[in-house]
């Protein structure tokens, strides 16, 4: 599966930032990918783009080409989301008594939300790509807010579960983003976050040619820095799992992919990580 990636639009503004995880100003150069520089924080080891494009400019990259990518691959993505959730013990069909409320941030065309709705959930989405959101609203009759999470007008303590898959790596200010997520969750509510794992085998092997080392990813998390992000945002990290040993078309023999795929999960060196965290009571 090829990761959606766009060359930054001409005229995008960038700015030098401090570490978005620990606020440290000192970093070393890590990877240069076309015109995008990834640096490593000298204190917490977070890998992030610096200088960094601003959120409004990044949002404009999610035009019709993104919608086409999402709609073409939506069944594959739903399957991956459900597999990831199962890995950390969440089976959407096992709904407890009463209707439960879920928010999917970066819900794209809404196939996962539709699946949740069919399983009895009160389902809401947030999506910055207008054509993807419209598809879910019109064709799936879903409740999707078009825009950024911080502009979503919903009372605090609203959701039992908040899910975001392949979103956090696109966010300029992940601490502010998680503060919003925290406020929207009910006490005892659970957050599920999926993101590429820079401490995985593929990132170590391919380095700046890694499929997730792209200008659209503003921050690249390791298992360690992702856990730190959630802890610093007052969440209790319950569980995490990684998966994916080698991607298809990596140029390596199929038998090696099979072996590495099988080992990635139990040994924790997978290419993608899912983290489950709780907002304490």
CB of 22 to Zn ion, least distance (A): 3
Of the candidate residues 33, 44, 152, 263, the single one contacting Zn ion (CB under 5 A) = 44
Question: How far apart (Å, rounded) are the C-alpha atoms in residues 71 and 222?
Answer: 29
**Residue 45: which residues within 8 A CB-CB, separation 6 or more?**
222, 224, 225
As measured in angstroms, the least distance from the Cβ of 4 to Zn ion is 27
Give the per-residue contact string, 1-20, with Zn ion (x = CB under 5 A; - = no): ------------------x-
Binding map of Zn ion across residues 184-223, x = CB under 5 A, - = no contact: ----------------------------------------
Q: Which of 39, 40, 41, 47 binds Zn ion (CB under 5 A)?
A: 41
The one among 24, 65, 139, 141 contacting Zn ion by CB under 5 A:
24
- The answer to whether residue 22 forms part of the interface with Zn ion (CB under 5 A) is yes
Pick the binder of Zn ion from 6, 43, 140, 186 (CB under 5 A).
43
179 class by beta-carbon count within 10 Å (0-12 exposed, 13-18 middle, 19+ buried): middle
CA dist 54 and 216 (Å) reads: 11
State the number of binding residues for Zn ion (CB under 5 A).
8
Compute the Cα dihedral for 244, 225, 66, 203 and give only its sign: negative
CB 41 within 8 A of CB 24: yes
Q: Answer yes or no whether residue 227 interacts with Zn ion by CB under 5 A.
A: no
Least separation in angstroms between residue 39's CB and Zn ion is 10
Q: Which is nearer to Zn ion, 26 or 256 (CB)?
A: 26
Bridge partner residues of 143 (DSSP): 124
CB nearer Zn ion, residue 24 or residue 141: 24
18 within 8 A of 39, measured Cβ to Cβ: no
222: exposed, middle or buried (C-beta count within 10 Å: 0-12, 13-18, 19+)?
Answer: middle
Restricted to residues 107-146, the positions that interact with Zn ion (CB under 5 A) are: none
Contact 116, 99 (CB under 8 A): no
Q: Which of 36, 39, 40, 46 binds Zn ion (CB under 5 A)?
A: 46
Specify the residue, 18 or 278, whose C-beta has the smaller distance to Zn ion: 18
Q: How far is the CB of 169 from Zn ion (least distance, A)?
A: 16
Residue 175 sits in the site that holds Zn ion (CB under 5 A): no
Residues that bind Zn ion (CB under 5 A): 19, 21-22, 24, 41, 43-44, 46
């Amino acid at each position: 599966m090829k990761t959606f990636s766009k060359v930054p639009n001409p005229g995008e503004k960038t700015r030098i930032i401090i570490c978005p995880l620990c606020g440290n100003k000192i970093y070393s150069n890590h990877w240069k990918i076309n015109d995008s520089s990834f640096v490593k924080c000298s204190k917490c080891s977070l890998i992030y783009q610096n200088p960094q494009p601003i959120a409004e400019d990044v949002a404009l990259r999610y035009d019709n080409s993104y919608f086409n990518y999402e709609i073409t691959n939506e069944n594959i993505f739903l399957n991956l989301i459900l597999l990831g959730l199962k890995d950390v013990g969440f089976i959407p069909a096992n709904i407890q008594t009463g209707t439960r409320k879920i928010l999917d941030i970066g819900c794209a065309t809404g196939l996962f939300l539709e699946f949740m709705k069919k399983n009895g959930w009160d389902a809401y989405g947030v999506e910055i790509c207008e054509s993807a959101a419209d598809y879910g609203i019109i064709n799936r009759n879903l409740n999707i807010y078009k825009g950024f999470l911080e502009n979503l007008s919903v009372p605090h303590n609203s959701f039992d579960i908040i899910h975001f898959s392949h979103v956090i790596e696109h966010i300029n200010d992940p601490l502010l983003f998680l503060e919003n997520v925290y406020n929207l969750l009910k006490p005892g509510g659970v957050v599920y976050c999926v993101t590429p794992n820079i401490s995985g085998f593929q990132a170590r092997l391919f380095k700046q040619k890694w499929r997730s080392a792209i200008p659209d990813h503003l921050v690249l998390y390791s298992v360690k820095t992702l856990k730190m992000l959630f802890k610093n945002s007052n969440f209790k990290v319950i569980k995490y799992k990684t998966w994916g040993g080698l991607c298809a078309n990596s140029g390596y023999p199929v038998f090696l992919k099979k072996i590495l795929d099988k080992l990635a999960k139990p040994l924790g060196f997978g290419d993608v990580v899912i983290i489950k965290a709780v907002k304490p009571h």
